[in-house]
Amino acid sequence: MKLLVIGSGGREHALVWKLTQSAHLTQLWCAPGNAGIAQEAAAKTGKPVECVPIAAEDLPGLLAFAQDKKIDLTVVGPDNPLALGIVDLFQRQGLKIWGVNQKAAQFESSKVFSQKFMEKYGIPTASAGTFSEAGPAKAFCATLGGKCVVKADGLALGKGVLICSNLAEAEKAVDEIMVGKAFGAAGARVVIQEFLEGVEVSMHALCDGRTAKIFPTSQDHKRALDGDRGLNTGGMGTYSPTPFLTDAQLADTARQVLEPFMRGCVAEGIDYRGILYPGVMLTQSGPKILEFNARFGDPETQVYLTRLKNDLIELLAASVDGTLDKIELEWRPEASVCVVMASGGYPGNYPKGKIISGLDAANALSHTKVFHAGTALKGGHIVTNGGRVLGVTALGKDLRAAQAAAYAAVETIHFEDAQFRRDIGAKAL
């Protein structure tokens, strides 16, 4: 099979790496890809992966490329092309594509849509209200004593969620989003949730419109600095599995969340084929869903795919074809840890073009894989080209061993002002 993968981050490098191991793959292209993706090759044929300079949002360009190369399956990494309707576009042209369609992408592109859906179908979530005017929104914050989370409805580059500890902060947050339009049209409506305390974990489930197959749990580290301090980022590191849910508790959570989710989708005429990634808070009164994403997490994908035993092409094809009920997901028992190495200054401004050394030495370590995110090839060197630069990922017999292996690999890699957390996985130890 000939595949096209869309995207350029660490998630997409992990997807490409896993897909190249498939017995079904003959050749793979990635748009636009990165320097690490360009170093992969199909295991079966030895054909190198080719990166093509087409942006993930250039839907007509991607369609023309897929038609020209007679791509058998396109795999979409990021949320933007999904929200723009790339799946619907490809399907109208008779092309096979993996990812959620535009209607299903609303679970991520509209927090108001998701909140109302969760309430309608009895999915456990925070007490919440949805508002299109500032006055009633502020009045609702007051009923929560100001301890709440104010969320812009639409996609806001992960910045549209403001956590407030008193009413003055909450009113300011509502004003910033709804009156000051800090996130533009994404803030025309807001969801306001009660502030939930607990341990936050990432859940993933692969869906085919009828069946949802749950993954093990993982945990991201969103803040820039050790001890969960500093600014929010796209994610500074992950590990899987987590010790916070037993297998029985995970199965129970899946029942509480995925069964009503799939039932609700059928009732609403939403054909959900792709990944469902709920953010979950494990509270004293049970798991509560904070939000839904409609794509693989980044860097959750890096730890999941290093543990996944199945052939990924077979899984994604079953997700598209509606045959997931015939497949069991199989996971390596080892733990996986991914440490993100970022550019100095991230998530604020950061320089690009810093030469990265030590990559080959890191990849030569056993059970270690360095996934590239913001990298580029320049003058024969691999250089930094984004905020999150690398996802240094290692397997170990347990979490402690995986963590030690990941950090041993990090120590071999150098670029000027590299920034990374030293406590990925520490909460579980």
Q: What residue 298 binds from ligand GLY, ligand AMP, none (CB within 5 to 8 A, per partner kind)?
A: ligand GLY
Q: What residue 235 binds from ligand GLY, ligand AMP, none (CB within 5 to 8 A, per partner kind)?
A: ligand GLY
Does 293 bind ligand GLY (CB under 6 A)? Our answer is yes
Cβ of residue 283: shortest distance to ligand GLY, in angstroms? 20
Cis peptide bond prior to 53, omega within 30° of 0: no
Residue 297's nearest CA partner among 233, 389, 235, 228 is: 235
325: which DSSP letter? G
Question: Going by C-beta distance under 8 Å and a sequence separation of 6 or more, which residues neighbour residue 288?
Answer: 124, 125, 126, 196, 198, 280, 281
Residues in the chain: 429
Q: Which is nearer to ligand GLY, 115 or 302 (CB)?
A: 302
Q: Which is nearer to ligand AMP, 161 or 370 (CB)?
A: 161
Q: Which is nearer to ligand AMP, 138 or 151 (CB)?
A: 151
244: which DSSP letter? S
Q: Which is nearer to ligand AMP, 22 or 110 (CB)?
A: 110
Cβ of residue 106: shortest distance to ligand GLY, in angstroms? 16
Cβ–Cβ < 8 Å for 37, 12: yes
Question: Going by C-beta distance under 8 Å and a sequence separation of 6 or more, which residues neighbour residue 58?
Answer: none
DSSP E strand stretches across 241-296: 273-283, 286-293
Angstrom distance (rounded) from CA 122 to CA 115? 11
Cβ–Cβ < 8 Å for 124, 170: no
Cβ of residue 376: shortest distance to ligand AMP, in angstroms? 29
Cβ of residue 202: shortest distance to ligand AMP, in angstroms? 9
Residue 396: both structure tokens together: 């170990």
Q: What residue 218 binds from ligand GLY, ligand AMP, none (CB within 5 to 8 A, per partner kind)?
A: none
Q: Which is nearer to ligand GLY, 8 or 293 (CB)?
A: 293
Q: What residue 407 binds from ligand AMP, ligand GLY, none (CB within 5 to 8 A, per partner kind)?
A: none
Q: What residue 196 binds from ligand AMP, ligand GLY, none (CB within 5 to 8 A, per partner kind)?
A: ligand AMP
Q: Which residues in 295-314 contact ligand GLY (CB under 6 A)?
A: 297-298, 300
Cβ–Cβ < 8 Å for 371, 393: yes
Q: What residue 290 binds from ligand AMP, ligand GLY, none (CB within 5 to 8 A, per partner kind)?
A: ligand AMP
Q: What are phi and psi of 150, to 5 degrees?
A: -100, 125
One of 9, 33, 77, 235 touching ligand GLY (CB under 6 A): 235
Give the CB-nearest residue to ligand AMP: 291
**For the chain, how big is the Rg over CA atoms in Å?**
21
Cβ of residue 421: shortest distance to ligand GLY, in angstroms? 14
Q: Which is nearer to ligand GLY, 340 or 382 (CB)?
A: 340
Q: What residue 400 binds from ligand AMP, ligand GLY, none (CB within 5 to 8 A, per partner kind)?
A: none
Angstrom distance (rounded) from CA 356 to CA 78? 25
Cβ of residue 230: shortest distance to ligand GLY, in angstroms? 16
DSSP E strand stretches across 221-295: 223-225, 229-232, 237-240, 273-283, 286-293
Cβ of residue 162: shortest distance to ligand AMP, in angstroms? 9
Does 220 bind ligand GLY (CB under 6 A)? Our answer is yes
Binding site for ligand AMP (CB under 6 A): 126, 149, 151, 161, 163, 193, 195-196, 200, 222, 279, 290-291
Q: What residue 300 binds from ligand AMP, ligand GLY, none (CB within 5 to 8 A, per partner kind)?
A: ligand GLY
Does 160 bind ligand GLY (CB under 6 A)? Our answer is no
Q: What long-range pairs does 59-64 form, CB within 8 A, spacing at least 24?
A: 59/84, 59/85, 59/86, 59/89, 62/4, 62/6, 62/31, 62/86, 63/89, 63/90, 63/93, 63/95
Cβ of residue 293: shortest distance to ligand GLY, in angstroms? 6
Does 274 bind ligand GLY (CB under 6 A)? Our answer is no
Does 278 bind ligand GLY (CB under 6 A)? Our answer is no
Residue 414 Cα distances to 204, 233, 283, 353, 421, angstroms: 32, 21, 40, 13, 15
Positions in the binding site for ligand GLY (CB under 6 A)? 220, 235, 293, 297-298, 300
